[in-house]
Amino acid sequence: MAATEPERELIRRVLPFALPATAVAYAAGALASAGAARSAAIGVAVVVANFAAHGLSLAWAAKISPTVLVGVGLGGFAVRLGTFIVALLLLERISWFSPVAFAAALVPSTVALLVFEAKVLSGRLQGELWRFPTGAQR
C-alpha cells in the first residue's frame, strides 16, 4: 500500500477549515462594510487556494527528484508572494474592494496556516516525508 504524499495529506487536513475561516473573515469584515466583508473573504480564499496549489506542485515535484523538489519549493515561495501582490493590485481596481480588509484577513490566515502546518509536521524529519523512486522504479 502506497503512503499518502505528505503535501496532499496536509491539504486534506487544511481544507475543512477553509470555509469556516472564510466565514469568520466575512463576518469580521461585515462589521465595517459589505465591501470589507467580501475583501476579507477573498483574502482567506486566496491564501487557501495558494496553499493548495503550492502543495500540489510540491507533491508533483517530489515524484521527480530532490533537485526539482527544492526548486519548486524555493521558486514556489517567490511565486506565492507574487500571487498575493498581483491579487491585491488586480482587486484594488474594484470599487468596493478594501485592501485593508484583504490584508487584515490574509496575514492572520497565512500565520494560522503556517502554525497548523508546523504542528502537523512537527516531530517528523524531512527524510521521512518524501520517497523518491530509485533507478528501476522510475
Grid cell digits, residue 96 = 468596493
Number of helical H runs and strand E runs in the chain: 6, 0
CA torsion, points 94, 30, 40, 103, in degrees to nearest 10? 90
91 pLDDT above the threshold of 50: yes
d(CA 136, CA 138): 6
Give percent of the chain above pLDDT 90: 51
Report yes or no: 62 and 5 within 8 Å, Cβ to Cβ.
yes
pTM confidence score: 0.80
**Residue holding cell 518524501?**
130
For the segment 19-37, the average pLDDT, to the nearest whole number, is 95
93 pLDDT above the threshold of 70: yes
pLDDT bin (cut points 50, 70, 90) of residue 119 is confident
Backbone angles phi, psi at 32, to 5 degrees: -95, -55
For the segment 39-52, the average pLDDT, to the nearest whole number, is 94
Report yes or no: 26 and 39 within 8 Å, Cβ to Cβ.
no
Dump strand ranges (E) for the chain: none
Least confident of 65-69, 96-100, 119-123: 119-123
d(CA 109, CA 112): 5
124 pLDDT above the threshold of 90: no
**Residue holding cell 523518491?**
132
